[in-house]
Structure 1
Amino acid sequence: MARMSGIRYPVVDTSGIMEIVEDKVYVAVGKNMKESQSTLRWALHNSGGRQICILHVHQPAEKMNILGTNFSINELEASKVEAYHETERQDMRRLLDRYNKTCQQTGVSAELHPIEMDSIEKGIVEFILQHNVRRLVMGGAADKHYSKKMVDLKSKKAIYVRLLAHPSCQIQFICKGNLIFTRPARLDGVGVAISSPSRLPNTNSSSVESSLRSRSITEGHSNTLPLTSPTPDYRRVMSDNRGTRISPNSAGELTLTTRLPSGRTYDEWGGISQRSPSTGSRFSTCSSEMADDSGLIPYATSEADSDYGSVPRFKDDVLNPSPPSVLERGMNDELYDQLIQAMAEADNSKRDANDESIKRRKAEIDAIMAKRRVKEYENLYAEELRRRLEIDEAFKKTNEEHENIKRELDEVSEELRMALEQKLVLESQIADSVQTVQDLERKMFDAVELLHKYKKERDDMQVECDDALRLLEETREKQAEEASCSSASQFYTEFSFSEVKEATRNFDPSLKIGEGGYGSIFRGFIRHTEVAIKMLHSHSLQGPTEFQQEVNILSRLRHPNLVTLIGACTDAWIIIYEYLSGGSLEDRLNCKGNTPPLSWQTRIRIAAELCSVLIFLHSCDIVHGDLKPANILLDKNSVTKLSDFGICRVLSQNELSSNNTSYCCRTDPKGTFVYMDPEFLSTGELTSKSDTYSFGIILLRLLTGRPALRLQMEVQQAINEENLKNILDPTAGDWPFVQAQQLALLAMNCCDVRKNRPDLASEAWRVLAPMRVSCGLPSFEFGSERQCAIPHYFICPIFQEIMQDPVVAADGFTYEAEALRGWLDSGRNTSPMTNLELANSNLVPNHALRSAIQEWLQQA
């Protein structure tokens, strides 16, 4: 045999059995990682240094599960099926990577051979045939079927591969890491053992060919030919160059033998005579192994290559011995004739036996082919049955669709009938409408007549109205004189200290919601209303002054972005405000208590509302003086409420600042250092521009979310480097860059030197108003028209009129007392504004708002 693919070599071992050298071991693995891992580890342990090749047959799914129902791939779109199969292939690649990793852990580099077929066992058989595989290791049974006494295969795939794989491949079947069965390799019906190249003897091609030829002779019993007159002359040895000799035995009979490379002799008349009992036993075992599946191998040998094809060679050797003088000296003609006759009979017997063997093998092959055809017919029957079931299912679905269409047609018919009926109803309604229009026209003529009548009455009432207005004007003047003489205590509710203690549960620390240099703030319920109670420190020298100043300011001013004053306790310097559940802007910027971060839209709205209330204060010649995020409160809807007016100042018109452009007052600097105007710190002059500086720092904090210290320098550096996006607060969402840039420039201008700071009403509001509108809020302008318009918080939400007796309900909104009592007396217990259930039906008079309304009416 010639050398094949550089890796297989034919040799003959000492027992005379042919070996085919194979330097690769193929291991068939499946999807079951646990079972295949034990097979792979066994192959790695018993590979003998050979190259490991991992073989995996991928079987594409024939059905897909969609919403819990299995569908055949033939019923689905090709793109979906291909995507599903691609997912399966990716899973297969990951599985092979895991097997490859197992090999790498043992220091072995494995080759991967994935193939794709509809049948796993057929794929293995075809792969063995196409790639000339000489050694294969695969599973023989599932792990649950394994037992120590197992000697046969339990897997249908393993049985299929054992029967139909090419006979030249040796297959070892493994179960649970144990070898349970071995199918030896064969070459033309002769047992073949697989060995590694390291076991090759130093033989040339002529010796290998001689060994194979001598091995192909069929085994048999040695026969002898009796001689009539044995003489010592016939005990001479006759031999040729191939080792054939004729010699007498101990019984005086002449025997023709041929020396085989394995140490056996060939008897021309009787076949191969065994050298020893041990040798014969081994050969018989090999023959029995060959007989296991010999009938299943669909390969036949020609007479020239059969076991009997070698006999004529030996016959020629006997008929033409070398040298011929040996026979001439010791044999007579009669003995020679007997020898020729015996050889001819032996030749005929062996030829008959060979013909019978060929016929038997052909019959077995025909039987196998018949079984295969029966299997194919069974498969065809199953396929036809499957198709019939699919057709029945399709027919059933078609009937269902037909029924559905029929039902839909019935529904459409019913809808058409209802539409016709509705059409008749509409026509009747149109006729009624025409009649109604005619009636209205008649009524309109009657109304014109009444109009002329009412016009005359109106002229009369106009005269009465003028008289009433004159009387009202006189009444307003009297009220203004009385208001100028009254004290500030008329504009807020006075609470006793016992009421405050009861509202705070004797100032329970668990109700404390804030604390600072001014004092402490508690949360409480007073007169069934949730309020914030600010208690100033008694040891503070500024306590009485700050208390009186804050009460005077908040009791006379009213703005939607100013905190509402509920009342006060003058005995203990306690101020009672409306409770704002949103906390301070400082807490929300720091997300205190795991509160959600403020969005950029909310931050723009807070900036606009803060600018609005500052414009209002400055128009009243009031400077807050301590503007910072901790003094900016938020309600549950994140509406801005400015608080803490303890150190605010009312600018005197008699004092001007050094630049003679704005009013100012001189005072000792108080407040938080990082938010204070540097020029106020150096000169002691407090002006409205000082609030503008603090407003600019707050804008920078809303933009960046960073601490105020050195924040101005960081933003200026980012603007210079065109890197503003990187310092914007990411928790606010995606800032619109144009608006963020405008806010940053406005904030930096507000933080500039005092003379360069923008005017809030004319310049800052011009930037913030469009942004406020973009966030979905209504726009408004500051000016004379705005001052003459009725403030919206003076209007009762129910009556839509200016309130005369404003009261605060449990929902926190202010209503006209008469309107809200009528709302509650009608059986309702929900808020007119939020439609949520009211906690209680108690009404608290809003004296501060009442005084603000009266003051506004006097000035209007």
Structure 2
Amino acid sequence: MLSSQLPDIAEASSSERVYVALGNSIEKAVSLLNWVFESLGTRQICLLHVHRPSPLIPTLLGKLPASQANAEVVSAFRREENERTKKLFDYYLIICRRAKVEATIVTIESDQVHKGIVELVNRHGVRKLVMGTVKENCMKVKKSSCKENYAAKHAPLFCEIWFINKGKCIWTREASENSNLLQGSFSSTISSCASGCTSTEMRVSSGSDPKVEEESSYSHIEEVSLEAEALGNEAFEELLKCKTLELEAMEAFSKVKIYESALVHEVKLRKEAEDALNNTIQDQEKLLKEKDEVARKLERTMRNVALLDIRAQEANHRCEEASGELKLIQTSILSLRQEEQRIRRQKMEAVHWLERWRSPGQAGTANCNGFLGITEELPELAEFSLSDLQTATCNFSESFKLGQGGCGQVYKGEMLGRTVAIKRLHPNNMQGQSEFQKEVQVLGKLQHPHLVTLLGACPEAWSLVYEYLPNGSLQDRLFQKNNIAPLTWKIRTRIIAEISSALCFLHSSKPEKIVHGDLKPQNILLNSELSCKICEFGICRLVTEDSLYQPSFHWSTIPKGSFPYTDPEFQRIGVLTPKSDIYAFGVIILQLLTGKPPAGLVGEVRRTRKLTSILDPSAEWPMIVARRLVDLALQFCELSSRGRPDLTPTLVRELEHLHVSEERPVPSFFLCPILQEIMHDPQVAADGFTYEGEALRGWLANGRETSPMTNLRLDHLHLTPNHALRLAIQDWLCKY
């Protein structure tokens, strides 16, 4: 084989062709080629490459040694390696053609790159070689393992080698001066090898100088030592590789076992899944049969529902006819009543004018006395002088001032051996003078435990002397002015009963009914035992049966009631009646229940769905008591006075019993699970539980289709009235 290469060697020697050792790194190869093109200026080069086959073959079980892998897999991988190498050198040839340099390729396959390079140099008689090198520190650390150092030591001396790093020539191994002799020796060696001669004969033909022979022997021994050392290192590396491959093989075998066990488990799971699928199919068929049966039942039910709808429509039609007839009857009755009232008013007016016509002076005096409620039998009030009041109040000192109203100031003083409250009206206020006369004439003749007591008057100073109540007004106590303790539910209920008792007394007085006209928490005072008394009668009215039909009678004074407590009917038509006090009383009840300001309170309570959300938590209201008071207060606050109930003794007694009653335990099945309140419209849902109808409809209206109790999806959203439970709740409420 070597003899066949001799013409090539001779041709290479004569043409001074440059050989460039290239690897798989494109960046380094391009750098070497550019240096050759720029520095040597040659137009013919030979690309030299040592292909190192990979010792490990990638398989499905990981990388295995080539000896243990399948032969077809190894062959395919080798073809893939050769294809990559071919594509790489095609790219190198393209670079050379672009530089207008003729290039050929010489390759060899070897496990060690540095030995492959030296073998190619010897085989082709390379005289000029360009190869890459590493940094200097690498050569210092491990020179014997670097292919550059090996090539410098073992390449023939006639070969000039340039070592290039990053486009720069690091160093050059010059060719020996005896390069021609060595070249001839190299040629004779090849010829001798081709003809079967020994290496000893080659050395004899080269020359017989003993010194040269000694140096050659020494270099040969050194070369053999280096080769032995390199072979030892290679053997150690191969041993490590074998151990690594053994470990990888064991790991691969364990993976195979794991895969086999996983396959068995997967087969088991697949069988279980098939069984479950069969069971599911059977259940589905059963459900389909049940669905068909239910569909048939539903069809029968829908036919029955259609019949019931027809009957219901007939019943509704009859009900509408009956309602129309009832409305006609009610309209007729109302017309008769209005006619009767009109005739009665005309009769009373005729009698009134007849009496005035007969005796104008006597009739006017009697009417005035009856209107003002003055009688001769009642004792006269005590009269005080201005000096008495100045002494009691330190000349009306600001430190004794309790407050200021629309008609004057209120002072605290000491008179008659007790603490009193002195109300001083503005002297120039004609309305105040009227109120002064009114309160003197009315309060002086009224005696009730829950009306403030008038002790005397001072006409000189337009002042009234009342009893003093130390705990201030209900307004201050309700909104905890000065951080006072809140009122309990029992105290609040007792105050409601006391207010109702006082109003019932005023509204049932004879011969004229008395209307307070300015009922609000500021005008309800509390004594030391937190019992209430109503004050501020400056705008009260005396209302007779005749005056109810004479609106102009009520414009003698201007009411000063606060707007939230003012009767809407009075604001509309200007008629002040006992029902006006009842409206204000209803607003006060709602304030005691909720602890909130009066503005908009009636509407807020009407709109609320959950009573506990608006109750004052500091009072700890029992639900039975709170529910009854809310219902009563909303009746009192009806916009039309006809819808408001009268304060009867029976109603007053009921309120008096509320504040002394303890809360009774409510059966749990009477409470709505959502609101936790007694149900008034119990409805059964699809989950079998009973809820308050309004609460459950609100639950479903928000897009929820699950049970409030079980959180499971409801089969349907239809509600069924629970009449039995509703009757039981009504019986329980009536009983207690």
TM-score by length of 2: 0.37
TM-score by length of 1: 0.32
Q: Which has the higher helix share?
A: 2
- State which structure, 1 or 2, has the greater radius of gyration over its C-alpha atoms: 2
